[in-house]
Amino acid sequence: VGLGVFLGYQPGEAGGFEWGFEAFATHHFEHDDAYGSGARTGIGPLLQLSTVGLRDSRMSLAVQGGGELSPGGAALTGELGLSYRMGEHGGLGIHTGITSELSILNAAFRYQWLLNEAWIGGGIRYVPSYTSLAYYEAVPGRPFRTDRGRVHMSSAERLRAGDRRAAVDCDELEYAGLGYERDAQLECASIPAFLQLARELERHDAPQVLVTRALAAAADELHHAKLCADLATGYLQRPVAPVWPNVPPRAALAGSDGVVQLAVESWIDGCVMEGIAAAQAAYAARECSDRTAQPAQRVIAADEQRHAELAWSILEWALRRGGEAAHAALCAVRTVDAPACRPESALAGVERYGRPDARALDRVACEQLELSRKRLDAVLAARS
Ligand SMILES: [Fe+2]
Ligand SMILES: [Fe+2]
């Protein structure tokens, strides 16, 4: 959801400088990617109030939809709706428009059919239409990537997976159970991620030991999904089972592009994300006193650490194989941010079930990211 202001010129007899305010919402389609490997697309409502000088006001209600032309880059959005102009030259019109955005700045051309009004101008939108302020799910791991980027849980899966924001109403056990139900789903998404990784490593003739380790990691993630589902079942007193993400795998990139992609994704998805997942699970285990949750968090912490190490091994191999191009690509993505945790409403006492609050997890993530970045710098320095 965002707000904007705009200013432009409407030619013609009744024209002049026209300025106004707008409010909009954008539903992002599911394959959005917080880490820059997929351009975002979306659709949503748009309300504009404007006035020519201080006289004839116009109100438009429209549907707007479009997407980024490149990940995090310029975006193009179309608008279609109804418009009502008050005053002497007033009446009902059909609102059409096209807006191009770059960060918070935009330029637009709009035409009100039946009213015969053209407008050209620009403005500021905050937040930009395709910026995702979505929080990353707590206790992440390796995400599954398709041709369109990192796959997020769909709204339906989220609902099934206990994404109840109004957690204030639940007791400790229910709160912890809903958290583990969501984690079971996220762990499940890491299974196809590792199978895909194994296939892509094979395709690029990576050492067999890396392929074997990726397959073993897929088995670990299946175990994690089961551990989390069992905890959720126990806490919620109803059967919980993770759902396999229903999305097609991507076509592997051929040649050096594929090796560079493996280098970059090993850094982001493995060295960073699984490193953070390991550190967060280790923290959760330390804070936890529940007899079932603590051993589960310990197992997850140890496995995620191994998965992070696998990512470092793949990164080193990809650097050797990919040479200058892989080196340059890694330099470009070394500043990736730590994903922020979903701000679960703080409920005292849930750490004991292995559910530390989001602020503590964010702190752990930032510390871990710093360590990973230093290690990457050392790896890159050794090869430059
Ligand atoms: Fe995992
Ligand atoms: Fe993992």
Distance 228 CA to ligand 2 centre (A): 13
pLDDT at 138 over 60: no
Distance 189 CA to ligand 2 centre (A): 10
Q: What is the pLDDT of residues 280-311, one digit of tens each?
A: 999 999 999 999 999 999 999 999 999 999 99
Instruction: Quote the strand ranges of the chain, DSSP E.
Output: 2-10, 16-24, 27-28, 41-52, 57-68, 75-85, 91-102, 105-113, 117-126, 145-146, 149-150
Q: Which ligand is nearest to the CA of 299?
A: 1
Q: Which of 40, 227, 57 is nearest to 149 (CA)?
A: 40
pLDDT value for 348: 64
Distance 221 CA to ligand 2 centre (A): 6
Distance 344 CA to ligand 2 centre (A): 22
Q: Which of 64, 71, 74, 1 is nearest to 40 (CA)?
A: 71
Which residues keep their CB under 5 angstroms from ion ligand 2? 141, 274, 304, 307
Distance 175 CA to ligand 1 centre (A): 20
Distance 185 CA to ligand 2 centre (A): 13
Give the other-Cβ count within 10 Å of 161's Cβ: 25
Q: What is the pLDDT of residues 38-56, one digit of tens each?
A: 567 899 999 999 998 777 8
Rounded to whole angstroms, the Cα distance separating 240 from 231 reads: 9
Q: Helices marked H in 22-72 — which ranges?
A: none
Percent with pLDDT over 70 in the chain: 84
Q: Which ligand is nearest to the CA of 187?
A: 1
Q: What is the pLDDT of residues 6-39, one digit of tens each?
A: 999 999 887 889 999 999 999 877 543 333 335 6
Give the other-Cβ count within 10 Å of 300's Cβ: 28
Residues 6 or more apart in contact with residue 248 via CB below 8 angstroms? 146
pLDDT at 73 over 80: no
Distance 115 CA to ligand 1 centre (A): 58
Rounded to whole angstroms, the Cα distance separating 269 from 83 reads: 46
Q: Which residue has the tokens 């035409």?
A: 111
Distance 166 CA to ligand 1 centre (A): 26
Residue type at 45 in one-letter notation: P
> Averaged over 251-266, what is the pLDDT?
91
pLDDT value for 254: 86
Distances in Å between the Cα of 314 and the Cα atoms of 145, 149, 330 are 17, 20, 13
Q: What is the pLDDT of residues 212-222, one digit of tens each?
A: 999 999 999 99
Residue type at 293 in one-letter notation: A
Distance 304 CA to ligand 1 centre (A): 6
> Averaged over 329-356, what is the pLDDT?
75
Query: 324: helix, coil or strand?
Result: helix
Q: Which 3-state string (H, E, C) describes 228-247?
A: HHHHHHHHHCCCCCCCCCCC
pLDDT value for 349: 66
pLDDT at 260 over 80: yes
CA 105 to chain centroid: 22
Give the other-Cβ count within 10 Å of 158's Cβ: 15
